[in-house]
Amino acid sequence: MKLIPCPLNGLRPADEFVYGGEVRHMPDPATSSDAQWARYVFNRSGIAGVKHEWWCHIASGFWFILERDTLTDEVRSSQHVAQWHSTVHV
Amino acid sequence: MAWRLLKIGLSKNYPEPRMFTPPARLAPTYDAVIIGAGGHGLATAYYLARDHGLRNIAVIEKGYIGSGNTGRNTTIIRSNYLTPEGVRFYDRSIQLWRDLGDDLDINLFYSTRGHYTLAHTDATLRTMRWRAEVNKHLGVDSELVDAAAVARALPMMDMSCAGHAPILGALYHAPGAVARHDAVAWGYGRAADQRGVEIHQQTEVLGIETTGGEVSGVRTSRGHIATRCVISAVAGYTPRILDMVGLQSPIYIHPLQAMVSEPLKRWLDPIIVSGSLHVYVSQTARGELVMGASLDPRELHNTRSAIEFATSLSTHMLELFPFLAGVKVNRQWAGLADMTPDFAPVMGLTPVKGFYLDAGWGTWGFKATPVAGKTMAATVASGRNDPLITSFDWWRFERFELTGEKGAASVGH
């Protein structure tokens, strides 16, 4: 079984987690146009690459940010959401 | 047989006729370039040549014919969808499938088996009733059958599913069929080749050139092509091709895995699908059980297949058919599925003039091969989306008009 590093629980089997999709920046719904909003709602960066993703450890209900290469399935880093927010300015 | 093989092995010239003539080099210009020599790409080329008189067409394939999802799917053909636009589209496909072998002069092993989608909950039964009524309204043969009817038709199945998911009924779809997927690609390929279409295997598309918002050429690993018409019929690589023309789409990639058992004496005639148990299974003409499950749960651009998949699918198979416990799995594999938010394809014109898309085929593309080829060819020839595909168009997302076909996905994804 593939193991996923969780910042709270350490290395755990992949089937203890759910994948929540890539971390994306939400445009301001009050000011964005319908077209911009549709792009945010539906479009995805479908090309393979290293992406930051939402993951949740189901048993502990803990959401965190996993950095993963979607071509090789290699995990690059795993961090608390707060830690992610402090290093990235979106 | 052995002598004949030896003679073929020793002879200088290959004594059998080849399916295709491999063209020596790329021409500097084509009327249309199709990316991807899978069923969809080759069918589009064939109908463009046969029905619309286009001859100067190149189909560009990075690997070999049918090496993508055409050769990786579980070959199930059905039209028992949920939305009227979906039912009409896939029903047209079944009509084309029925005489496709004659049309292409190849044995597709097209075999009408009947198709049971099992319901283990009241909620599933409700969706099935809905699907059956939509189907009947549009002249498609589907009906809701009760548990007794299922048990009569499938006496070898454990109706209680090991006691924890009792079968309450099923959606029965008589036209459900299977076909030999490789032969579909070969048949369309040969028929297109006979009409002058060039199929270039081992040729990778590196870039698509546009001038003033219009397609003007394609860069490939074997040289440059000038063309004003490009049709992308790839799976798993659609976002990369779209990036070449500067487009973003809702398409995202998850792997879908499948496996096949050793050959068994014929015991399973219909196709069995259980959404709750994440299983679909049919028996091939050779006696193997072809089995599939739901999508892998995360984005991945990799066709690796893992033991977790084989164990989990086998567990569910044994809940339905406990007597298979001693049967061995021969092979397992994966394909890359182009998923869309509404479980419907993305087809036809795009914001880039001369760039057409036949994509978003997720886990439902094989059955659509003939109708996708037919409607894409009509769309390219007329410059307008064919009436059968208008609900699958590129702009439906920004109109917030999704097609909502998720309820008819073969297993819950």
Same domain, B187 and B335: no
Whether residue B317 has pLDDT greater than 80: yes
Same domain, B169 and B119: yes
CA distance to partner chain A, nearest, from residue B301 (Å):
5
Helices (H), B246-299: none
CA distance B114 to B176: 5
Least confident of A75-84, B4-13, B289-298, B309-318: B4-13
Whether residue B409 has pLDDT greater than 80: no
* Contact (Cβ atoms closer than 8 angstroms) between residue B353 and residue B215: yes
> Residue B5: pLDDT band by 50, 70, 90 thresholds?
confident
Among partner residues B248, B298, B308, which is closest to A43 by beta-carbon distance? B248
Provide the residue type at B32 as one letter.
A
Minimum CA–CA partner of A49 in chain B = B301
Query: H or E element: which one contains B242?
Result: helix B238-244
Q: Which of B243, B249, B301 to mutate to test the interface with A (most CBs of A within 10 A)?
A: B301
Listed residues B315, B339, B363: the one ending a domain: B339
Q: Residue B186's closest CA among B18, B49, B326?
A: B18
ipTM over 0.90: yes
Q: Residue A59's closest CA among A19, A18, A23, A2?
A: A18
Q: How many CB atoms lie within 10 A of CB B312?
A: 17
Same domain, B331 and B258: yes
CA distance B322 to B317: 8
Same domain, B256 and B323: yes
Whether residue B224 has pLDDT greater than 90: yes
> Residue A85: pLDDT band by 50, 70, 90 thresholds?
confident
- For A21-34, write each residue's pLDDT tens digit: 999 999 999 999 99
CA distance to partner chain A, nearest, from residue B25 (Å):
30
Listed residues B290, B321, B339: the one ending a domain: B339
Question: B164: which 2 tokens?
Answer: 């924890």
* Contact (Cβ atoms closer than 8 angstroms) between residue A53 and residue A19: yes
Q: How many CB atoms lie within 10 A of CB A89?
A: 5
Among partner residues A1, A53, A73, which is closest to B308 by beta-carbon distance? A1
Cβ separation B397–A70 shorter than 8 A: no
Q: Residue B59's closest CA among B233, B245, B244?
A: B233
Same domain, B371 and B292: no
Same domain, B206 and B239: yes
Percent over 90 (pLDDT), chain A: 89
> Residue B16: pLDDT band by 50, 70, 90 thresholds?
confident
Residue B77 lies in a domain: no
Mean pLDDT (whole number) for B36-41: 98
Among partner residues A38, A70, A73, which is closest to B400 by beta-carbon distance? A38
φ/ψ (deg, to 5) at B118: -80, 140
Residue B361 lies in a domain: yes
Q: Is B323 left (phi over 0), alpha (psi -120 to 50) or beta?
A: alpha
Task: Compute the C-alpha angle B310/B71/B301, nearest 5°.
Answer: 65
**What's the distance, CA B395 to chain centroid?**
23
- The residue segments making up the domain with residue B335 are 113-175+252-339
Would the pTM count as exceeding 0.90?
A: yes
> Residue B10: pLDDT band by 50, 70, 90 thresholds?
confident
Whether residue B136 has pLDDT greater than 60: yes
pLDDT reported for residue B413: 46
pLDDT reported for residue B105: 96
Cβ separation A38–B240 shorter than 8 A: no
Chain A residues within 8 A of B344 when measuring between CB atoms: none
Mean pLDDT (whole number) for B291-316: 94
Among partner residues A1, A22, A42, which is closest to B397 by beta-carbon distance? A42
Same domain, B240 and B285: no
Same domain, B262 and B220: no
Residue B317 lies in a domain: yes
Residue B335 lies in a domain: yes
Same domain, B323 and B348: no
Same domain, B47 and B152: no
Task: Compute the C-alpha angle B193/B237/B45, nearest 5°.
Answer: 20
Mean pLDDT of chain B: 95
Distances (CA, A) of A80 to A19, A76, A77, B208, B307: 15, 14, 10, 41, 31
Residue B374 lies in a domain: yes
Mean pLDDT (whole number) for B185-208: 97
Same domain, B163 and B300: yes
pLDDT reported for residue B3: 85
Percent over 70 (pLDDT), chain B: 98
Residue B104 lies in a domain: no
Distances (CA, A) of B155 to A65, B150, B161: 49, 8, 13
Chain B from 333 to 362: CB within 8 A of any A CB: 341
Starting at the edge strand found earlier in the chain, the sheet holding B205-211 runs: B205-211, B214-220, B223-226
Residue B196 lies in a domain: yes
- For B347-392, write each residue's pLDDT tens digit: 999 999 999 999 999 999 999 999 999 999 999 999 999 999 999 9
Among partner residues A1, A18, A47, which is closest to B243 by beta-carbon distance? A47
Mean pLDDT (whole number) for B274-302: 95
Cβ separation B250–A18 shorter than 8 A: no
Distances (CA, A) of B262 to A62, B113, B242, B323: 43, 20, 40, 14
How many domains would you assign to chain B? 2
Starting at the edge strand found earlier in the chain, the sheet holding B198-200 runs: B198-200, B57-60, B32-35, B230-232, B355-359, B346-349
Q: Which of A32, A33, A36, A44 to mutate to test the interface with B (most CBs of B within 10 A)?
A: A44
Residue B352 lies in a domain: yes
* Contact (Cβ atoms closer than 8 angstroms) between residue B335 and residue B256: yes
Same domain, B159 and B290: yes
Minimum CA–CA partner of A51 in chain B = B299
DSSP string, B354-388: TEEEEE--TTT-GGGHHHHHHHHHHHHHHSS--GG
Query: H or E element: which one contains B169?
Result: strand B169-173
- Beta strands B111-112 and B115-119 are unpaired
Listed residues B288, B315, B339: the one ending a domain: B339
